Structure 1
Amino acid sequence: MAPAGRRRPLTQDTSSRHDPELRSAARHFGRRRFLTVTAAATALAFGTNLPARGAAGPGELDGARIPTDPFTLGVASGDPLPGSVVLWTRLAPAPYEPGGGLPGQYVAVEWEVSTDEFFALTVRRGTAVAFPEYNHSLHVEVEGLEAGRVYYYRFRTGAWISDTGRTRTAPATTAAVAKLTYAAVACQAYHDGYFTVHRHLAQDDVDVVLHLGDYLYEYAVDSVGGARNYTDRKLPDLYNRETKTLDDYRLRYALYKSDPDLRAAHAAHPFVVTWDDHETENNYAGAISENNEPEQEFLLRRAAAYRAHWENQPLRNAQMPNGPDAQLYRRFQWGNLAQFDVLDTRQYRSDQAYGDTLHAPGPETDDPARSITGAAQEKWLLDGWRASQSRWNVMAQQVCFSQRKFDLGAEARTSMDAWDGYRASRRRVLDGADSAGVENLVVMTGDVHVGYAFDIKEDFDDPASKTLGTEIVATSVASGKDGADRPGNWDTYHKANPHLRFYNGRRGYVRVALDRTKARADYRTVSAVTKPGASITTAASFVTEAGDPGLKPV
């Protein structure tokens, strides 16, 4: 085990971790002892002169000259506000090639929004520019829409027309909303199986989808797609390596977004996305890499990962990275029914305690100087709760919030990568919710590749203590392969964690229906992802009543 608070020593060769320009720049800033690593990585900008917003770029490529369909990665929408939504696409006629098969020229792309799927009643239209510096991605922030209604959208360049997407705006913040249905997904390792879960999600009737992280994985994908075991295609060798550079991350997003099931889910619903670790690197903490690499090297990698993430998600310009930094935490309202506080528990966290292993709680986990959110985000969260007028307060985040013991006995181990490794941080958040008068707290979680339902206790070691809220953990879309309804540690986990109400190891998603009196969670699971086409079922359903936290089976 590594010394407390330290990571494993670096055991792999990093000589080719970055392209020559980045390695040279890293050495340059190292020699100058660069005053802030963040400023250094920002200044690099990956050798790309980013265009000023609205600039004309290095010369136009007429869309009519693109010989094959450039909309191979589909369309997406996200971050719905009253009267506004973000529309996304990326031009990539050859998605598995660097640059997507387009030259370094900008492309003008028309977009339109309609109240009907046949575009007989177009209400907004315009032209956006797909710059090569942003990998020909588009983020159109459409304004002036009606609050709380469904719209359809599409893109066009030359003779090519994209798929039609369906989206919706949020209700007015003061609207007396009666109900809301949302889904939560996480952890979609391409190499572990098909995205069958997304196909079923696309056919479900939900208002919005929360993606809670691990949208992609940095690990190598072999020529047959890992567990997908393709016999009708061969993936390029460039995928059979871990993502390290900007091109690596861009290409990995192209692989994931070319999946037809994921494309269908994005086209059907607006998404609100946040990241966890694998969008960058497993179990990183702030500026500290999994293998304790030099900070300047890791921040260059983080900058590449963050930029590719923004380029490939329906995010607003406010979330555009500045080098290795990006403000991903943000807040959404669904009338006066629900407030969504979307967290980032990776970028600002203290290093994991006790060498980032499973470990019993100790002085480090209770150190008030350590944080999983960082001080600024924690203050933002608590201030938002104090100002909230919503019936339900939904905290959308990444890693298990409730205590989760892996063993029986006084020295039971917990995860140092989850909130159990930052118990003082969790205590401040729970005390802040209580001080703010938050009565109906729902924590949405991903990360662990299983479905859990927890009662959030005032004292997790005292089952009789007050219940403060509900945690709903979405299992993975594909990570962990097929899984099992009853994992081998099922009995131990239930005995060690009396506040655990449900535990299932299949793949799937969670559908949550909120109204004025209750929240209902349906755990939707599939029998397999290593073969396509599995049917879906509801493994369990629970209800928590407004004003009476605690889960009850339906």
Structure 2
Amino acid sequence: MTITPGRSPRHSREPCAAAHRSPRGGTPSRRRFLGLTAAAAALAFAVDLPATGTAAAAQLDAARIDDFPFTLGVASGEPLPDSVVLWTRLAPAPYQPDGGLPAERVDVDWEVAEDETFATVVARGTAVAHPEFHHTVHVGAEGLASGRVHYYRFRAGDWLSETGRTRTAPAADSPVSSLTVAAVSCQAYHDGYFTAHRHLAEDDVDLVLHLGDYLYEYAVDSVGGARAYTDRVLPALFDHETGTLEDYRLRYALYKTDPDLRAAHAMHPFVVTFDDHETEDNYAASIPENAVPPERFLLRRAAAYRAYWENQPLRLPQLPVGPDMQLYRRLQWGQLAQIDVLDTRQYRSDQAYGGAKHLPGPESEDPTRTMTGAAQERWLLDGWSTSQALWNVVPQQVCFSRRRMDLNPVAAVAMDAWDGYPAARRRILDGAKAAGVQNLMVLTGDLHAGYAFDIKDDFEDPASRTLGTEIVTTSVASGKDGTEKPSNWTTYTTANPHLRFYDGRRGYTTVTLDRAQARADFKTLPYVTTPGAPIATVASFVTEVGNQGLTPA
């Protein structure tokens, strides 16, 4: 695909188309949580967190923008059969808090075509880049043909963005033959280059599922951490942990100026969900990592969620209200796949036993503990009960399968993952059985390693029924270079007979679903602290329709 950003001839405009930490183990009551949420929302808007839907009093003529404004690229996502979200942001000076623009709204033209030369334009319109939303643009391009590739671009005054490539979902009743998704997660800028995204941009996939930790809240020094820049110096404003709306917005600007990430966004539609680092490490619902008042943390969460929505190709229903954001949602890929995107961070009970690895015990095994919150759990199970799809795919954040971390008869497990919420996992698995889900595919991030698990009905019994498959994608950069066999490789593979694969290098994973099987290809890089690494498929597994269980391909 040819990318040709720069100045373009002026053109006529078309009408706009639809365009505090509590003691570990304690869980705030619903009434207290809602009270804190309301307090944080009030605080947020009292200190100039932008209000939803307001419009600046003044308008900037886009012709007055002197420097290239599309420095953060373009993106698309949330594909429906007739619609896709198109995203960009105007930022002539992306590392300045104001992005190099005054607090005025700007008209941005957009168009969608069947071909990358834009000979056949099928949709166009004008959207407003509001300063209240940091001059981001979210266009719901509608009336598109289902199940096909489209091309899109933006114009602001004489400036033309690069061309993006996207894809609509097939019609709901379409007997789709296959779907290939790429699973990515955990891209700490300061740990290395996003080379995996460059390779992903060149891969043939229908959809990218980003499973969390799109950015990290940690400081990035002047040389970019492990990137060790010698040809550039990053501004000092990145060299502290994020906490305010301005901080989070600037951190997204840093990440989105990465050319490899920009390339992946320009080539494929993304479906995203956050984990913890987009806000703060290991938070749980309204409970922060450190001992700060809940109201203060929820104010931070409100800022983080606002910046997340602004900088991702998400639809209007996902726009947060204060510190609350409904990110769980359902997509369909014809009759082949129902995709239920989960949020395992915003509604969960606090991590048991302080959140560190620990033996299972009364605190973690409390049957009232939840990973998703009651409403989201019911939504998932109800959705399965009515699903007509061959595959039920669950993109989510933390390890779902049992992962014993030592060889003792009773082994320690991770309290931040589903092992710290076993009653919730049991309810999910029982719900899948009750709904008759035959082909369950859970896609996970977080662990900075690639894993392949058989999801067992009883993880204590290796001979029990296999209910589905969990594919854990490794990190894009987090953890730096990694190694094929981490120091715990023998322990983990011995202690977990349902674990079929474990690799500690960086990269991403593709999963192809068809009418007969699912195939997972684990793709890794030898290094990320130096740019330009080659990529290789180091393992492939299949699981058959109606006969779940991973075997080497």
TM-score (norm. length: structure 1): 0.93
Structure 1 residue 292, shift from structure 2 partner = 3.0
Q: Secondary structure at the match of 2:271?
A: strand
Taking the TM superposition and a 5 Å limit, the aligned residue runs for 1:94-109 are 94-109=93-108
Contact 2:40 2:296 in 1 (8 A): no
Residue 5 of structure 1, aligned match among 25, 47, 71? 25
Q: Secondary structure at the match of 1:355?
A: helix
Q: Which amino acid aligns with 1:220?
A: A
Aligned sequence identity (%): 69
Give 1:309's aligned residue: 308
Structure 1 residue 410, shift from structure 2 partner = 2.1
> Any idea what the Cα deviations from partners look like across 1:380-433, whole Å, max 9, x if unmatched?
000000010000000100000000011011231100000000000000000000
Q: Which amino acid aligns with 2:474?
A: T
Taking the TM superposition and a 5 Å limit, the aligned residue runs for 1:493-504 are 493-504=492-503
Question: 1: distance between equivalents of 2:505 and 2:364?
Answer: 31
Q: Which amino acid aligns with 1:301?
A: R
Question: 2: distance between equivalents of 1:61 and 1:337?
Answer: 46
Contact 1:6 1:355 in 2 (8 A): no
Give 1:154's aligned residue: 153
Contact 2:197 2:261 in 1 (8 A): yes
Question: 2: distance between equivalents of 1:410 and 1:475?
Answer: 28
Give 2:285's aligned residue: 286
Question: 2: distance between equivalents of 1:249 and 1:159?
Answer: 29
Give 1:185's aligned residue: 184
Question: 2: distance between equivalents of 1:86 and 1:47?
Answer: 30
Give 1:165's aligned residue: 164
Question: 2: distance between equivalents of 1:142 and 1:488?
Answer: 49
Question: 1: distance between equivalents of 2:507 and 2:255?
Answer: 17
Give 1:45's aligned residue: 45
Taking the TM superposition and a 5 Å limit, the aligned residue runs for 1:77-476 are 77-476=76-475
Distance 1:46 1:529, change over 3 A: farther
For structure 1, list consecutive stretches of 5 or more residues without a partner in the other structure: 8-32
Segments of 4+ moved more than 4 angstroms = 49-53
Question: 1: distance between equivalents of 2:373 and 2:26?
Answer: 19
> Any idea what the Cα deviations from partners look like across 1:92-141, whole Å, max 9, x if unmatched?
11111101111100110000000000111111000000000000000001
Q: Which amino acid aligns with 1:466?
A: R
> Any idea what the Cα deviations from partners look like across 1:357-385, whole Å, max 9, x if unmatched?
10011112221211000000000000000
Give 1:18's aligned residue: none
> Any idea what the Cα deviations from partners look like across 1:445-477, whole Å, max 9, x if unmatched?
000000000000111111111111000000000
Contact 2:449 2:504 in 1 (8 A): yes
Q: Secondary structure at the match of 1:5?
A: coil
Q: Secondary structure at the match of 1:524?
A: strand
Give 2:546's aligned residue: 547
Q: Secondary structure at the match of 2:85?
A: strand
Contact 2:70 2:88 in 1 (8 A): yes
Question: 2: distance between equivalents of 1:34 and 1:177?
Answer: 43
Contact 1:79 1:315 in 2 (8 A): yes
Question: 2: distance between equivalents of 1:403 and 1:34?
Answer: 30
Structure 1 residue 51, shift from structure 2 partner = 6.6
Structure 1 residue 269, shift from structure 2 partner = 0.1
Question: 2: distance between equivalents of 1:136 and 1:46?
Answer: 21
Structure 1 residue 52, shift from structure 2 partner = 6.6
Contact 1:131 1:137 in 2 (8 A): yes
Contact 2:179 2:206 in 1 (8 A): yes
> Any idea what the Cα deviations from partners look like across 1:222-248, whole Å, max 9, x if unmatched?
000000000000000010000000000
Distance 1:211 1:337, change over 3 A: same
Contact 1:484 1:504 in 2 (8 A): yes
Question: 2: distance between equivalents of 1:465 and 1:39?
Answer: 46
> Any idea what the Cα deviations from partners look like across 1:274-310, whole Å, max 9, x if unmatched?
0000000000000000113211000000000000000
Contact 1:3 1:354 in 2 (8 A): no
> Any idea what the Cα deviations from partners look like across 1:472-526, whole Å, max 9, x if unmatched?
0000000000101111111100111110000000001011111000000000111
Q: Which amino acid aligns with 2:150?
A: Y
Contact 1:48 1:133 in 2 (8 A): no
Q: Secondary structure at the match of 2:317?
A: helix
Distance 1:36 1:66, change over 3 A: same
Question: 1: distance between equivalents of 2:357 and 2:459?
Answer: 18
Q: Secondary structure at the match of 1:541?
A: strand
Contact 2:61 2:157 in 1 (8 A): yes
Question: 2: distance between equivalents of 1:495 and 1:365?
Answer: 24
Give 1:21's aligned residue: none
For structure 2, list consecutive stretches of 5 or more residues without a partner in the other structure: 1-21
Question: 2: distance between equivalents of 1:311 and 1:3?
Answer: 33
Give 1:11's aligned residue: none
Question: 1: distance between equivalents of 2:548 and 2:171?
Answer: 27
> Any idea what the Cα deviations from partners look like across 1:6-43, whole Å, max 9, x if unmatched?
69xxxxxxxxxxxxxxxxxxxxxxxxx99822222223
Contact 1:34 1:40 in 2 (8 A): no
Question: 1: distance between equivalents of 2:52 and 2:87?
Answer: 19
Give 1:478's aligned residue: 477
Distance 1:76 1:4, change over 3 A: closer
Q: Which amino acid aligns with 2:197?
A: H
Distance 1:52 1:310, change over 3 A: closer
Distance 1:47 1:58, change over 3 A: farther
Question: 2: distance between equivalents of 1:153 and 1:252?
Answer: 26
RMSD, matched Cα: 1.5
> Any idea what the Cα deviations from partners look like across 1:296-337, whole Å, max 9, x if unmatched?
000000000000000000000000000000000000000000
Distance 1:6 1:41, change over 3 A: closer
Give 1:17's aligned residue: none
Structure 1 residue 56, shift from structure 2 partner = 5.1
Structure 1 residue 49, shift from structure 2 partner = 7.7
Question: 1: distance between equivalents of 2:159 and 2:145?
Answer: 28
TM-score (norm. length: structure 2): 0.93
Question: 2: distance between equivalents of 1:283 and 1:543?
Answer: 33
Question: 2: distance between equivalents of 1:249 and 1:209?
Answer: 23
